[in-house]
Structures are given as C-alpha cells and as structure tokens.
C-alpha cells in the first residue's frame, strides 16, 4: 500500500481529532484580528477563538457561503478581505472556473501552495503513483487552479510531470505515446474525449503504457459506468479525486477503491448538513458537505458550504487509512437536484444509466419546466453503426429508474459539445 504520510494517514481517530482541533485552534488564533473577513464574521456571531474547546464547538461558528466571498470581493475589490496577510506575502492568484457566474479569486502564499502540493501528494500516492511514473497533465494551464496544484503534488512524489497545456487532443495523445506516459490527470469527460479522438484518427490508444488515470473537476470518475468506460478504453485504473479552488484538494480514492473517496482529515474537517435546514446529517445519510481547511491560512475557508452532496462512511478501510470516506465520492451538487413530475432526479444517476450503454458517445439532458409541465429531453450521440432502436432501450431503462418516461432522441455525430473542463450535460430551462 502506498501512502504519502503513513503516520498521519493511519492515526487512531481520537488522535486525528486532537490533531484537527489543535490545528483549528492555532489557525483561528492567528486569524483573529489579522483576517478581516473572518474576524468580522465571528464578531457578528459573538464567538471568539478561545470559545472553540472541542470539535463539537465548531458548530458555534457561522457557516461561510460562496456568495459571501463573492460579495466581499465585489465590495472590497478586486481582492476582498479574506486575506490574512499584506498582498506581497502571496505568490499565486487563481480563479474559479466561473461555471456559476463571476469567477471567485483565490490566493496562496508560499506555505499554502506547499500545502496544496502535500494534499495532491496524498491524492497521487493514494492512486499508487510513484517516482517511477510519468504523469501527463491533459489540462489547459489557465487561471483555473485545477491541475496546477497537481504539478506540485507530482514534485512531492518525485514523478516526472509532463504538462499538456496549449495542445489539442491529437497532439496530447502523441506526446503521451512519445514520453511513455504511465499516468494521466484530466477530467473524466476529457479522458473519454481523448479516447474518442484516438478512435476517429486511428490512433492506437493501447500504444501508450498508461496504468493510472486520476480525475477531478467533475464527479464522473465515481459514477460506476463512467469509471468502467474510462478503465476499459484506456486499459488503466481510474481514480477519483475531489477538491475545489476555494477549499483545496480534499479527498481521493485509495488503491483498494472501496467505493468512495478518503478525506485528508489531517488537513480538513468535514461536516455534513441538510442543505435547507443546516442541521447536522448523520453518517450514512446524504447531505451537503461543509468543509474547513486547516492549511491555507492566507485565504482560509471555515465551515464552507461546498454545495457538494456526500454521504459519510466511518467504516475502517482495508488500506489502513483511518480517515472517513465519502461513499460513492461526490454524489452531485445540492442545487443540481431537480424535481421532474414529483420525482427527485439527480443528474449523476441519469449519467450512470446512460453511460452503461457503451454505444453512447455523448449526451445532453434538458429539463423543461414549462407551465408546470415538466419534461425531460435526452439527446444522445451513438457510435457509428449502432442500431438507432437503441434509444428506445435507453428510454425504457430510464422509465424504470425514474418512474416517468423522458423523451430520448438521437442527434448527429458531434452535434453535442465536448468538454475539457467542467462538463455541462445537464440543463434546466424555465419558462
């Protein structure tokens, strides 16, 4: 079993909790009066760092929502007040991908960038990546933090990192073959896209000695059918990882792949709440992930509502890590759930079903909420030579799962968009 930091990864849970509490208290004391954003929030909530005497006291602190950070940057532009240090202390500015509006800027100091690298070290080591691996990053190295931090993780592990920015899919495939890439970092959608391009241009994907793929940016790598498809097309093991620009690289799949992702609990504290009431949700039940990062003092998030739906599993993993796991990884977005004809529909479960049909190259789901009459339309691209009757089989399977029959229709090849980052296959249209 490969660990990044075996001692902390296998700490008994009571000691892990003590470590978290100690880090939290030290950080909060440091932020008081230096970080204006959190000092203001805590003062308004009449809570002082010295009030936090156990992890149970964490619940006394106010939640932080993305909207507050956005508003803070808008009203104290351009960088906002969640900066613990003078600006010259910072090394990097990144911004969120902006899929939900104006991008949020995030900042890192030398220490916190090193912390990002350590967290990615956990992710890479967790997937069994070592210094003998050649790690290809199929990623546009732009303002989005994405795999930038994975570069630091590769350095911690000592793997050979090959940046694949500024290249199209064919060039990336050729680079990977020439360099003998053994590991690949990209979104799950893009792993499938590259495989599709390889097929179109007659490139033998098996000529790349790839063993491992590591994915982030979308929950797809924990969607069983998507994972299977990536593993089958690339003849490699596919690993999920989750993180966010505001939060850090927080969870990863270990080599045993017990059906979920480990949280790096020495660097993060997780809580799960009901997205509407804010009440704590017990392990084994689905709720919104609220996370506190412990190593980004220059731009911290404390009790941050991620909008990600998770379900905690506290059962000890056979890999020896004592950290909690998110059963099935990130299960979707709290605000992605839509109600169609009275049925709660999660895009992830529809994706899983559609991806089970290996003949489907790409798809798009649109929910039309017109005059209270909900309709769900699914457009699918089928591989060349597929019997078009297959769309009826897909509709029947969806009918059985959803208890209503969506409209499924075939569209021309390449009619639907392809994605390198943050695939958007689910749309809701209101009248």
Give SS3 for 95: strand
Q: How far apart are CA 74 and CA 61, in angstroms?
A: 24
The site for Zn ion, by CB under 5 A, has a size of: 4
Of the pair 170, 255, the CB lying nearest Zn ion is at 255
Task: Single out the segment in contact with Zn ion by CB under 5 A; choices: 143-151, 281-289, 317-325, 354-362.
Answer: 317-325
| Burial of residue 385 (number of CB atoms within 10 Å: 0-12, 13-18, 19+) | exposed
Instruction: Name the token pair of 201.
Output: 């241009």
Closest CA to 104 of 52, 66, 53, 153: 66
Span of 83-91, 154-162, 316-324, 361-369 interacting with Zn ion by CB under 5 A: 316-324
Cα gap 32→36, rounded to integer Å: 8
Distances (CA, A) of 44 to 36, 60, 277, 308, 322: 12, 12, 21, 27, 36
**Min separation Cβ 8 and Zn ion, Å:** 14
Report the nearest approach of Zn ion to the CB of residue 126 (Å): 8
What is the length of the chain?
431
Q: Measured from the CB of residue 254, what is the shortest distance to Zn ion in angstroms?
A: 3
SS3 284: coil
Q: Which is nearer to Zn ion, 259 or 278 (CB)?
A: 259
Rounded least distance, CB 256 to Zn ion, Å: 5
Using CB under 5 A as the binding rule, the residues of this chain from 322 to 361 that contact Zn ion are none
Judged by CB under 5 A, the stretch of 7-15, 85-93, 103-111, 250-258 that binds Zn ion is 250-258
Q: Does 1 bind Zn ion (CB under 5 A)?
A: no
The count of other CB atoms within 10 Å of the CB of residue 413 is 13
Write down the least CB distance from residue 322 to Zn ion, Å. 10
CB 173 within 8 A of CB 205: yes
CA angle 317, 320, 322 (to 5 degrees): 70
Q: What is the DSSP letter of 64?
A: B
- Order of all β-strands in the sheet with 373-382: 407-410, 373-382, 360-370, 426-430
Task: Kindly tell me which of 251 and 352 has the beta carbon lying closer to Zn ion.
Answer: 251
Q: Which of the stretches 51-59, 155-163, 251-259, 279-287 binds Zn ion when contact is defined by CB under 5 A?
A: 251-259
Question: Is residue 254 at the binding interface for Zn ion, with CB under 5 A as the rule?
Answer: yes
Residue 319 near Zn ion by CB under 5 A: yes
Per-residue binder mask for Zn ion (CB under 5 A), 267-306, x = binder: ----------------------------------------
Contact residues for Zn ion, defined by CB under 5 A: 254, 317, 319, 321
């Amino acid at each position: 079993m490969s660990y990044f930091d075996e001692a902390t990864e296998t700490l008994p849970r009571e000691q892990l909790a003590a470590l978290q509490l100690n880090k939290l208290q030290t950080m909060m004391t440091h932020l008081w009066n230096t970080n204006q954003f959190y000092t203001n929030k805590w003062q308004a909530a009449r809570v002082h760092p010295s009030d936090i005497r156990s992890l149970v006291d964490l619940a006394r602190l106010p939640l932080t929502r993305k909207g507050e950070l956005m508003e803070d940057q808008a009203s104290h532009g351009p960088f906002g007040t969640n900066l613990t240090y003078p600006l010259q202390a910072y090394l990097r500015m990144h911004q969120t991908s902006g899929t939900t509006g104006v991008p949020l800027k995030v900042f890192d100091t030398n220490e916190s960038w090193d912390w990002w690298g350590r967290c990615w070290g956990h992710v890479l080591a967790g997937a069994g990546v070592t210094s003998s691996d050649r790690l290809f990053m199929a990623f546009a190295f732009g303002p989005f933090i994405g795999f930038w931090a994975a570069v630091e993780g590769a350095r911690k592990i000592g793997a050979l990192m090959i940046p694949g920015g500024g290249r199209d899919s064919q060039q990336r495939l050729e680079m990977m073959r020439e360099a003998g890439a053994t590991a690949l970092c990209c979104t799950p959608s893009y792993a499938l896209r590259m495989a599709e391009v390889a097929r179109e241009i007659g490139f033998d994907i098996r000529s790349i000695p790839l063993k491992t793929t590591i994915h982030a940016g979308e929950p797809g790598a924990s969607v069983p059918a998507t994972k299977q498809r990536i593993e089958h097309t690339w003849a490699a093991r596919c690993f999920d990882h989750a993180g966010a620009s505001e939060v850090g690289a927080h969870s990863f799949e270990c080599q045993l792949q017990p059906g979920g992702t480990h949280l790096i609990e020495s660097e993060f504290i997780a809580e799960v709440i009901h997205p509407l009431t804010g009440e704590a949700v017990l392990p084994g039940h689905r709720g919104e992930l609220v996370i506190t990062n412990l190593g980004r003092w220059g731009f911290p998030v404390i009790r941050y509502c991620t909008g990600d739906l998770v379900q905690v599993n506290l059962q000890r993993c056979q890999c020896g890590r004592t950290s909690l796991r998110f059963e099935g990884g990130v299960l979707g977005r709290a605000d992605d759930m839509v109600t169609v004809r009275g049925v709660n529909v999660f895009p992830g479960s529809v994706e899983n079903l559609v991806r089970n049909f290996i003949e489907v190259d790409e798809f798009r789901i649109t929910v039309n909420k017109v005059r209270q009459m909900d309709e769900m339309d699914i457009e699918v691209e089928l591989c060349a030579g597929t019997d078009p009757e297959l769309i009826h089989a897909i509709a029947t399977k969806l009918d059985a799962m959803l208890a209503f029959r969506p409209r499924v229709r075939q569209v021309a090849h390449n009619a639907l968009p392809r994605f390198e980052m943050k695939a958007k296959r689910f749309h809701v249209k209101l009248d």
